[in-house]
Structure formats: structure tokens, C-alpha cells
Amino acid sequence: MTFFDAIRTCFSKYVTFSGRASRPEYWFFALFLFLGSIVFSIFDSVLFERMPQIDEEQIILEYQPQETPLSTGFSLLTLLPALAAAWRRMHDTGRSGLYVFFPMLLFLAVGGLAVAVFGMANMTPGAFGDFVFGASGMFIGLALVIMLFSPLLVLWWLTRPSQPGDNAYGPNPHEVTS
């Protein structure tokens, strides 16, 4: 599959979350997304750059957020195809597409638990409160390490070769003849 074939395939399967996506299909589309975001960010910076306000007595440098309508539009336009391609890529490795959300779900679970533990530490007085507060710090440190490595695990899953033959999600895209 070529670069342009991958882009065409991913846009033709805009919200198709069933089936399988080969490595070239997914990674060429990821390259397209990366290059497109760079190009649109450059256009945004050239077209929508704000100059500082100059007063005669002093230079007033106010922070004004950069307007990025082109790169934001590109990101919104490609969000669903990128998610669908990653979902199908997980299917190709024999995993459920839900594994794409693994880092986010882990972040929500660990973050919710950390908030609960910190809340309990603030409500309990004395030595027990100190123990809970110290344990929650260790827990949060461990959680941060896990949350830093979970996106790398998903990235590793996305780089795995196709599962040979048919799997629960469909035929192998390398073995399908059109």
C-alpha cells in the first residue's frame, strides 16, 4: 500500500471501526496526519500572527492566544478517521479496538482513585491521616510511572505485525485479494 492509497483508504473508511488495517495503512495515515498538522500550523502562524501592541510611551506585550483555525479544522476533520484507523489496526494485531483508549482509561481510573485517597487523607486526623497521605504519595508516584508507560505500550501494539490468517475481526488485509 502506498502513501496515497493509505490516505484514500482511511478517508473512505471515515468511521468504519470494523475490519482490519495493515501496518502500512495505519502508519502512512499517521505520517499524513503529522505532516498535515505541521503544514496547517505553519499556515496558521503566517496568516493569523498577532503583532504586539505598541504604545508611544511603552511597549505593551500582552499574551494573546494564537488563532489556529486551519490546524484546528484539520484536527477535527481527521479525528474520526485517525481513531477508526487505530481501532482497525488493533484488530489486525488480534486485540480489541478498545485498547486504543487504554492510557486514557488508566488515567481516569488512577486519577479518580488518587483524588479519593487524597480526600480521605485530608479528612482523617492524626497518625492515620499522615500514613494515608504518605501512602497516597507513593501510589501517585507509581501511577505516574504507569501512566507514562501505557502510551508506549499502545504504540508497541500498533507496531506489531498482522496476525496471520483470519481472526475474530476479519481476514488478514495482506491475504485479501480484490
For 80, the enclosing helix (H) or strand (E) is helix 69-92
Place of cell 486551519: 70
CA-to-CA distance for 77 and 85, rounded, in angstroms? 14
When pLDDT is averaged across residues 82-93 and rounded to a whole number, the result is: 95
CA-to-CA distance for 13 and 173, rounded, in angstroms? 14
pLDDT tens-digit map of 120-176? 655 555 655 565 566 666 766 777 777 788 889 999 999 999 888 888 888 888 776
- Residue 153 CB-half CA count within 13 A: 14
Residues facing residue 170 across a β-bridge: 167
pTM recorded for the entire structure: 0.76
